[in-house]
Amino acid sequence: MITAVRTSYNKQFTPAKYKQFLAGIAQDAGIAPAFRIAETPVFIPAALSTKLVQACEEIVNVILRPDFKTITTDAIPAALKVPHENDHPHFIVIDFAVCKAEDDSLIPQLIELQGFPTMYAFQEVMARQFKEHFDIPASLNNFFNDLDETSYYQVLREMIIGDCAPEEVILLEVKPEEQKTRIDFYSTEKALGIKTVCLTKLIQDGKKLFYERDGIKTPIRRIYNRIIFDDLQQQSATLGEHVNLFQDLDVEWITHPNWFYRISKYMMPFIHSEYVPKSWFLHELPVIPADLENYVLKPLFSFAGQGVQIDVTPEDIDKIKDPENWILQHKVKYAPAIETPTGSAICEIRMMYIWADGAARPVLVHNLARISKGKMIGVGFNNKDTWVGGSCCFFEFE
């Protein structure tokens, strides 16, 4: 997107460098990624950087509304509510498509948002390996708010571990060894000294939870939660015996599972910004638009793009039995903004926040990118192309 940087990067790129870059990631993390890593980062020009930050802060302002919990009461499915919800999420991620405005300038358009942690440890690993193996201009930065590699991990450590001993904190997932994001679990363990634990390995004694660490029954004070609870509910019957996480437990959640639902697509009809597509709850839609080809239908309770209907018809809307669980959103048109040696690509940018207890606002800290040449943007949909996949951004600021 920064023409001079893009041209220079494409010229310096070689398959050998890319191979060394991937090997560097695997060595750093201790495991090779289970998803495709793109051959390039995304270079964000100052004008788009400013718009992205502005869009994020406008969304944060909605989350800071005094009545936010009231307007999102119905966001949490009754069967998925977890006790002891705290005042705010510790992590927020906000996804934008890179699009073009009428004047041909690049603008962000909100796609999704979550009160949930993403690849916080691994994204720094990836950015660092890009800088080690390719010529990334020093004027561009993958961090925000004056953070660097050292201070970033310090912020992450304070958020996840806090005043606990590392052995009292676990990263919790269902079948972590099978997750495509497991490289982030390895990176988190390496950076913070905490262990990744499968739900089925938890030990309950009254309200307290334990796990085995080096053969020793160890108490758990904090859970760095990576479980998506509607996914857990779908596969719960196949997991065998495991702790019921929906009960009253003496444990601190980082971040509490309820925030995954409050800060989600459910928020979109409440956000009024030029960077947020117009959205309606389907059961509140006054009339079906005549130009349905310009809209997308999204389920409120799903992940990884499951259930999203891109080519919507009136019949699709009529078939939906639970319209209160769907939104109709104005379709976003991605711009082919990244020039690669094998053709133009589109991308999404994830802006990553951390919100410390007691802080007035969350702080923007890092980013993630997905690059695609197909209709679907997720890394799982781009297995046959090159110069696509998971990536990160380097931002220019004025």
How far apart are the C-alpha atoms of 27 and 13, rounded to whole Å? 21
Structure tokens that stand for 183 in this block: 């490289």
Average pLDDT of 313-334? 92
Q: 393-395 and 91-100 as β-strands: parallel, antiparallel, unpaired?
A: unpaired
- Of the candidates 301, 212, 209, the residue with the CA atom closest to the CA atom of residue 253: 209
pLDDT at site 380: 54
Structure tokens that stand for 136 in this block: 């990334």
Does residue 305 carry a pLDDT above 60? no
Average pLDDT of 105-127? 97
Average pLDDT of 137-161? 98
Does residue 381 carry a pLDDT above 70? no
pLDDT interval class at 384 (50, 70, 90):
confident
3-state secondary structure of 69: helix
Q: The tokens 């073009």 sit on which residue?
A: 100
DSSP alpha helix (H) spans, the chain? 3-12, 15-29, 46-63, 68-71, 120-133, 149-160, 182-192, 229-235, 259-262, 314-319
Please state, as a whole number, how many other Cβ atoms lie within 10 Å of the Cβ of residue 366: 26
Dihedral of CA 163/91/154/166: which sign?
Answer: positive
Q: Return contacts of 230-238, CB within 8 angstroms, 24+ apart.
A: 230/77, 230/80, 230/301, 230/302, 230/303, 231/174, 231/303, 232/174, 232/199, 233/79, 233/80, 235/174
Average pLDDT of 246-269? 96
Torsions phi, psi for 217 (to 5 deg): -70, 115
Q: Which of 270-284, 351-365, 382-396 is least confident?
A: 382-396
- Tell me which H or E stretch contains 97: strand 91-100
How far apart are the C-alpha atoms of 272 and 52, rounded to whole Å? 15
pLDDT interval class at 378 (50, 70, 90):
low
CB 262 within 8 A of CB 87: no
pTM value > 0.85: yes
281 DSSP β-pair partners: 327
pLDDT interval class at 304 (50, 70, 90):
very low
Does residue 190 carry a pLDDT above 70? yes
Average pLDDT of 232-252? 91
Dihedral of CA 40/384/369/171: which sign?
Answer: negative
Q: Which residue has the higher pLDDT, 308 or 163?
A: 163
pLDDT at site 25: 98
pLDDT at site 375: 65
pLDDT at site 398: 83
CB 38 within 8 A of CB 371: yes
Average pLDDT of 62-87? 95
Per-position DSSP letters for 288-337, written without gaps between them: --TTGGGEEEEESS--TTTT-BSS--HHHHHH-S-GGGEEEEEPP-B---
pLDDT at site 95: 98
How far apart are the C-alpha atoms of 306 and 341, rounded to whole Å? 31
pLDDT in tens, 12-32: 999 999 999 999 999 999 999
Does residue 301 carry a pLDDT above 50? yes
CB 393 within 8 A of CB 44: yes
CB 120 within 8 A of CB 363: no
Please state, as a whole number, how many other Cβ atoms lie within 10 Å of the Cβ of residue 215: 6
Average pLDDT of 171-177? 97
pLDDT at site 374: 82
Q: What is the mean pLDDT of the chain?
A: 94
Edge-to-edge order in the sheet of strand 279-281: 279-281, 326-330, 295-299
